[in-house]
């Protein structure tokens, strides 16, 4: 009998708490209270989350590399995870299986760290560069600048990234990789949404 009363009490408290939160939200809306203003980092993150989906398009590399032939196509998959607190970006050559022993398949995570939009790139070079991003004043680009590196730098590391929003079904990605000796290599991807 005592456990039944305890359970009933918990259900009533839960209901009242939920009802109170809904009522408070309704009162704020009726009183004209405005939601808290988003920080620049939050705006940047929300903009990036609109890219959730699968994207395909051409890849060009400068200076040219023998393993990236003209016409190479890339596939990018982006998904929002962790209750909206993280964005996963997975990159691979289009049409290749997800076989980490044969193909490159780097993963990048985006998340808010206090009031900074942070990118951590889990690279096939065995390191994890961290960058911080900002939304351009016109809202059409999110640009990431290098902060630091975890892991070795024997093979170089990712150094810079820019996401350019063309429209709902088209965006560009520009990634800069610093090869050994700090020589930059630039990869440009022109991507359209495939789902």
- 114/86: higher pLDDT: 86
Residues 25 and 104 placed together within one structural domain of the fold = no
Residues 31 and 100 placed together within one structural domain of the fold = no
**Structural domains counted in the chain:** 2
Residue 170 burial class via C-beta count within 10 angstroms: exposed 0-12, middle 13-18, buried 19 and up: middle
The owner of tokens 């890849």 is 59
- 66/84: higher pLDDT: 84
Residue 158 belongs to a domain with what CATH number? 2.40.128.20
Distance CA 128, CA 151 (A): 6
The arithmetic mean of pLDDT across residues 37-47, rounded, is 93
The predicted pLDDT at position 33 comes to 57
* Containing structural domain, residue 23: 1-35
% of the chain at pLDDT higher than 90 = 66
What is the sign, positive or negative, of the torsion defined by CA atoms of 91, 95, 98, 104?
A: negative
What is the sign, positive or negative, of the torsion defined by CA atoms of 46, 161, 127, 69?
A: positive
The mean pLDDT of the chain is 84
Residues 31 and 126 placed together within one structural domain of the fold = no
Residues 16 and 73 placed together within one structural domain of the fold = no
Residues 46 and 65 placed together within one structural domain of the fold = yes
């Amino acid at each position: 009998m005592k456990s039944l009363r305890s359970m009933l009490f918990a259900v009533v408290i839960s209901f009242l708490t939920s009802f109170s939160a809904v009522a408070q939200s309704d009162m704020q809306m009726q009183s004209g209270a405005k939601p808290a203003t988003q920080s620049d980092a939050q705006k940047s993150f929300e903009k990036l989350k609109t890219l959730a989906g699968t994207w395909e398009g051409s890849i060009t590399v400068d200076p040219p590399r023998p393993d990236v032939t003209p016409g190479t196509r890339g596939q990018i998959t982006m998904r929002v995870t962790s209750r909206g607190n993280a964005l996963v970006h997975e990159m691979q050559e289009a049409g290749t299986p997800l076989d980490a022993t044969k193909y490159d398949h780097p993963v990048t995570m985006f998340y808010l760290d206090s009031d900074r939009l942070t990118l951590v790139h889990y690279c096939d070079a065995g390191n994890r560069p961290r960058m911080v991003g900002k939304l351009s004043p016109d809202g059409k680009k999110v640009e990431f600048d290098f902060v630091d590196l975890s892991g070795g730098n024997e093979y170089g590391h990712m150094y810079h990234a820019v996401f350019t929003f063309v429209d709902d079904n088209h965006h560009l990605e520009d990634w800069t990789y610093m090869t050994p000796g700090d020589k930059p290599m630039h990869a440009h991807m022109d991507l359209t949404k495939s789902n």
